[in-house]
Structure 1
């Protein structure tokens, strides 16, 4: 890989980069690709999901704590990272509950997209990773992250769009994360059961008909050698990740053997490629981008 290849991953909150595509990013960093994580919000309204960290002093300073956690995860993954500066929208318990004034999910699309367009024009990525149009799951910030990512992909190369945000640059491929597929969890469930390990996935699989998969997997990136790096980055987000919780119930060696890839859907491509892919940069030559300056 050439250092002139560049990958941008757009996420809603600190910790999302470590739970979605972290091993992929660590692999590409090791191969000399420049990787930038863009975090849309500061996670200020996030709950403390690790019981061991559920303390009043942390909750009172959750925004700053999550920034510190992000800084540690960034070092572990070896990526660059920047915040766009929007405020976390929170996750309403009731879908009819109004979102807080001024939060990320309520921003006009052009307002929310402008700083990401500027980041794309400055960093000049060949590939962008983001969530699908349901956000991966229907968190309002994840859905908005998809919207601004698609907008930036489609607008950053147009010199007439978003004036004052830098010289145009057209990314070549846009991918959606596909880490939570039925096929993956069935494979892990069967492997754990065969080894006599209690599997937590049976209920998930039984309810899968309620969560139809809209997008197919087009791209499987081999990255099992970086699952350990991914896990360390996850643990850096100590307020969000319980070391005894969901993320670690399946032993790493089982994951490495049974499902050694991180998976994606190719949502947009301006280069010729064929599915299935095993590399996000298939069809891309370093330093080449249409309508770029």
Structure 2
């Protein structure tokens, strides 16, 4: 008789509410459905996210509250066992980091060792087997995403020093595939003037570097529900479409095809590693 698979713990570390929906929702839903424990950790309150201000409010506190509720709904759709909000202030994506809001600090201003120690405690409490972060460029370069990579990497080192052999995976997208998809979409969709297509030539990871290609088509319904939970991020201040809103409206058959797989890179794995599950290869 086959032995039941070991129950593992996956800790997924993201910068803002809604980041989990785009990069890791299918993997999270799959792990939860397979009986593993999934813990979602979000670094910031998302208070500087672009949104339709007439609907969701113009103040940081109001938007942060809305995005917290959306995060809870998303986590519920994915089967997340625990959600941890570290509570740092969103650092924003403008040319300069804004002053810290009263009673809080922008994530990028929090000392690395301090933030990493906080995440380390979560890893130790949960006895995490796998921690997902971002690649060193933070995917597309957002300063909070870069900081997630730095904090996650340091937290894993601290956890290992305390006896927890956690594996780190970078949640990513093969940039060659992404660029082809954008070029194809541009034939039928007019991107806004501020959209910088060339920036994606440097985003995420090359397809040849990716070590984990995780099939998640069976969990497309959960991923779509996760995306739709973050309604405040579907439109910009002018009422125009944002990426999340566009993707969440893709017709189901095409949606299931587009989001049939999620990708990760294990920076410690030898070249040529090919895996189909985030827990594959663990001892």
* TM-score normalised by the chain length of structure 2: 0.81
Matched, 1:176 2:170: yes
Cα 1:206–1:104 change in 2 (3 A) is closer
Name stretches of at least 5 consecutive residues in structure 2 with no aligned partner.
none
| Structure 1 residue aligned with 2:19 | 16
Q: Partner of 1:261 in structure 2?
A: 261
Q: Assess if the C-alpha contact under 8 Å between 2:141 and 2:203 holds in 1.
A: no
Greater helix proportion? 2
Partners of 1:239 and 1:123 in 2: how far apart?
Answer: 31
Aligned ranges for residues 13-162 of structure 1 at < 5 Å?
13-48=16-51, 50=52, 53-56=55-58, 61-79=62-80, 80-92=82-94, 94=95, 97-101=96-100, 102-159=105-162
Residue of structure 1 in register with 2:277 after alignment: 279
CA 1:151–1:200 in 2, change beyond 3 Å: closer, same or farther? farther
User: Contact (CA 8 Å) 1:2, 1:33: kept in 2 or not?
Assistant: no
Q: CA deviation at 1:14?
A: 1.0
How far did 1:211 drift? 2.3
User: SS where residue 207 of structure 1 aligns?
Assistant: helix
Q: Distance in 2 between matches of 1:225 and 1:251?
A: 16
- Identify unmatched segments of 5+ residues in structure 1: 160-167, 286-293
State the match for 2:202 in structure 1: 211
1:224 maps to what in 2?
A: 217
Q: Which runs of 4+ in 1 moved over 6 A?
A: 203-206
Distance between the aligned counterparts of 2:21 and 2:267, measured in 1?
22
Residues 174 and 205, structure 2, Cα contact 8 Å, conserved in 1? no
1:30 Cα deviation from its structure 2 partner: 0.5
Q: 2:228 aligns with which of 228, 235, 245?
A: 235
Distance 1:187 1:259, change over 3 A: farther
Give the CA RMSD over aligned residues. 3.0
Q: CA deviation at 1:241?
A: 2.4
**Given the two structures, how large is their TM-score scaled by the length of structure 1?**
0.78
- State the number of aligned residues: 264
**Is the 8 Å Cα contact of residues 189 and 199 (structure 1) preserved in structure 2?**
no
